[in-house]
Amino acid sequence: MKSVRFLSFRFLSLVVLALAVCCAAGRLGAQPGNKPYRAVMDIDGVQHVNIVAGDYFFRPSHIIVKVNKPVMFVVRVERGIIPHGLVLKAPEASISIDGDLSQESQTFAFTPSMPGKYAFYCPKKLLFFKSHREHGMEGILEVVE
């Protein structure tokens, strides 16, 4: 009787482990954010980019825009209760973004003045835990000619 209980406990542990692995794999698979996203110029001359933030990612995470043309980031948090933010500090390219995000879309407008690759990230961090950036919540804005 005792061994049966022990066996079922091991079986249950295996099931839990398998589920955890599947969930982790599913999360990774659900983030096609690594594919570069090239912003399209709208008829108003603005390069609109919709960005979704979540735990812990930005989608897309690699954004390509043209230099010296206005850019509008429209950013919202997908779901969940963990607070997120967006920071992109590149004074050399006339970009300065630092704001909190929510499930309502926030807009950040700027006109990049210099080609280059600039990192953006979530600055949030809970106590002694790893920062969201360390969890992978970051991306690259690539400004091209």
Close Cβ partners of 9 (under 8 Å, ≥ 6 residues apart): none
Our finding on whether 124 is near Cu ion (CB under 5 A) is yes
Q: Pick the stretch among 2-10, 13-21, 41-49, 133-141 that binds Cu ion (CB under 5 A).
A: 133-141
H-helix segments, 1-143: 2-29
CB 60 within 8 A of CB 33: yes
Q: Considering the rule CB under 5 A, would residue 59 count as an interface residue with Cu ion?
A: no
| Alpha carbons 124 and 130: distance in angstroms, whole number | 9
Q: Which of these segments, 8-16, 24-32, 68-76, 124-132, binds Cu ion (CB under 5 A)? A: 124-132
Does 122 engage in binding with Cu ion (CB under 5 A)? Answer: yes
Element of type H or E holding 35 = none
Asked if 84 touches Cu ion (CB under 5 A), the answer is yes
Could you list the residues that contact Cu ion (CB under 5 A)? Answer: 84, 122, 124, 132, 137
